[in-house]
Amino acid sequence: MRTSFRVGAVAMAAVAVLLMSGCSSPATGGDTSAPVSLSYWAWAPNLDKVVDIWNKAHPEIQVTVQKQDGGDPAITKLLTAIKAGSGAPDLIQAEYQKIPTLVAADALADISGTIGSDVKGAFADGIWNSVTLGSDALYAIPQDTGPMMFYYRADVFEKLGIAVPTTWDEYAAAARTIHAANPDDYLGTFSSGDAGWFTGMAQQAGASWWGIDGDAWSVDIDKTPTQKVAAYWGGLVEEGVIDNKPMYTPAWNAGLNTGTQVGWLSAVWAPGVLAGNAADTAGLWKAAPMPQWDASTPATGNWGGSSTGVTTQSTHSKEAVEFATWLNTDPAAVAALVSTANIYPADAAAAKSALTAAPAFFSNQPDFYTVAADVAKTASPFNYGPNVNVAYSAYNDEFAKAADAKTKIAFVAAVTNMQKITTDDLVKSGFTVK
């Protein structure tokens, strides 16, 4: 049997689930004579400390964090509970790329009718699109985000007289200069094991890998934006001026320490990774916006980020929405998220008020978060689909082959293969595919 999926119908499905469980509405508050108890599955560190602030100020709505092993295990566990018809929490921390999967499974309630009119304005359009799937529905409140930036060894750039690249052509030229000055040094690496990184690079170029039109999904991986990104990196790898080792390996970590890795295209959370892996290089790095395909229209992609959704099994949806909104937009809550969970808030204004000092690793760049805030505003919209896991697995497999081949043509072919694998899986899973 083929299954079709219409975004606008999910709210009706959520109501149906609640009716079958004996509840009159997803917004019911339950017994008002006793405190409402909400369960919150989350995996970010120290969220319980932030929730303690809420609980002390709201004795009528008490939230309990049930710590999960990670993003993927939490989603798998939730899908199992939804299928079983019981056992789901009231709230779930969900990465943006997981939202379509949860919506397709009727796991997230449409909360668009229970939020304030000012909530949308707190977030960049690209982030808001991730929790609405481009529809009038709303499936979660954005929590944190990972706008991508360019990190570089300022001392090496100064020594070699290289200007910070503002375009990808300038980045390629800088890569050649650095590698020519020392054959062991590279401006960056192409990582065939980090699908999220490549997704962000494609997003910056204007890609959106999935789309939905009525009942039908489309897969748009093998289109010009992603092809352009693959050809660019494949060309640099083939030329030999960019490294080809995966990130987060001992060899890559060593390169950060010794200076053979002169740059890193990463996200706003990179200072924590650099501080942990290359502590001795503190004060030598700086951050800048990503090089651009078109400097007249700045854009970036996101690598990481999560949201807070209300599940369709919650019998206290109204209270859950109230908490989720507070958690991700209240200045005190966001400040606590920054200080305890070490996130970059999706709420732009709250982020600005909470992030008043540069990370210690970037003490030489006092305007670090000003740069990050400007970059975050330029995140391009990007649609995920219900089988992100398949596409990401296909990336790892196909680009591992391309990385071994070290040819531009192999990189472009990897994109075509990703498209086929992802599309075939949607069809096999019973979705209508355009």
| The pLDDT of residue 33 | 67
Question: Rounded to an integer, what distance in angstroms lies between the CA atom of residue 163 and that of residue 379?
Answer: 24
| The amino acid at 156 | V
Q: pLDDT tens digit string along 164-197?
A: 999 999 999 999 999 999 999 999 999 999 999 9
Does 359 reside within a domain? no
Does 223 lie in the same domain as 309? no
Does 434 reside within a domain? no
Chain position carrying tokens 């959704």: 309
Cβ 268 vs Cβ 127: under 8 Å: no
Q: Report which of 71, 148, 144 is spatially closest to residue 341, judged by C-alpha positions.
A: 144
Does 134 lie in the same domain as 33? yes
Does 226 lie in the same domain as 89? no
Does 307 lie in the same domain as 294? no
Return the axis-axis angle of helices 47-57 and 317-329, rounded to nearest 10°: 120
Q: How would you classify the pairing of strands 61-67 and 36-42? A: parallel
Does 390 lie in the same domain as 331? no
| The pLDDT of residue 214 | 83
H/E segment holding residue 374: helix 368-376
Buried (b) or exposed (e) across 335-362, using 16+ Cβ within 10 A?
bbbbebbebbbbbbebbeebbeebbebb
Does 292 reside within a domain? yes
- Residue 38 sits in which domain range? 2-146+303-354
Does 50 lie in the same domain as 7? yes
Largest CA distance in the chain: 73
Cβ 399 vs Cβ 414: under 8 Å: yes
pTM of the prediction? 0.89
| The pLDDT of residue 215 | 84
Does 45 lie in the same domain as 66? yes
- 332, 354, 376 - which closes a domain: 354
Question: Rounded to an integer, what distance in angstroms lies between the CA atom of residue 259 and that of residue 153?
Answer: 8
Does 324 lie in the same domain as 231? no
Looking at the structure of the chain, the number of domains it has is 2
Q: Report which of 346, 317, 336, 347 is spatially closest to residue 115, judged by C-alpha positions.
A: 317
SS3 label, residue 306: strand
Question: Rounded to an integer, what distance in angstroms lies between the CA atom of residue 267 and that of residue 263?
Answer: 13
Q: pLDDT tens digit string along 359-380?
A: 999 999 999 999 999 999 999 8
Does 111 lie in the same domain as 171? no
Does 210 reside within a domain? yes
Question: Rounded to an integer, what distance in angstroms lies between the CA atom of residue 250 and that of residue 32?
Answer: 56
Query: In tens digits, what is the pLDDT along the chain, a chain of 434 residues?
Result: 333 333 333 333 333 333 333 333 334 444 456 899 999 999 999 999 999 999 999 999 999 999 999 999 999 999 999 999 999 999 999 999 999 999 999 999 999 999 988 899 999 988 999 999 988 999 999 999 999 999 999 999 999 999 999 999 999 999 999 999 999 999 999 999 999 999 999 999 999 999 988 889 999 999 999 999 999 999 999 999 999 989 999 999 999 999 999 999 999 999 999 999 999 999 999 999 999 999 999 999 999 999 999 999 999 999 999 999 999 999 999 999 999 988 999 999 999 999 999 999 999 999 999 999 999 999 989 999 999 999 999 999 999 999 999 999 999 999 999 999 999 999 999 999 98
Does 78 reside within a domain? yes
SS3 label, residue 245: coil
| The pLDDT of residue 55 | 98
Does 234 lie in the same domain as 340? no
| N residues, the chain | 434
H/E segment holding residue 372: helix 368-376
Q: Is the dihedral of CA 130, 136, 138, 139 positive or negative?
A: negative
| The pLDDT of residue 398 | 98
Does 226 reside within a domain? yes
| The pLDDT of residue 134 | 87
- 354, 386, 418 - which closes a domain: 354
Q: What's 309's domain CATH number?
A: 3.40.190.10
Does 194 lie in the same domain as 175? yes
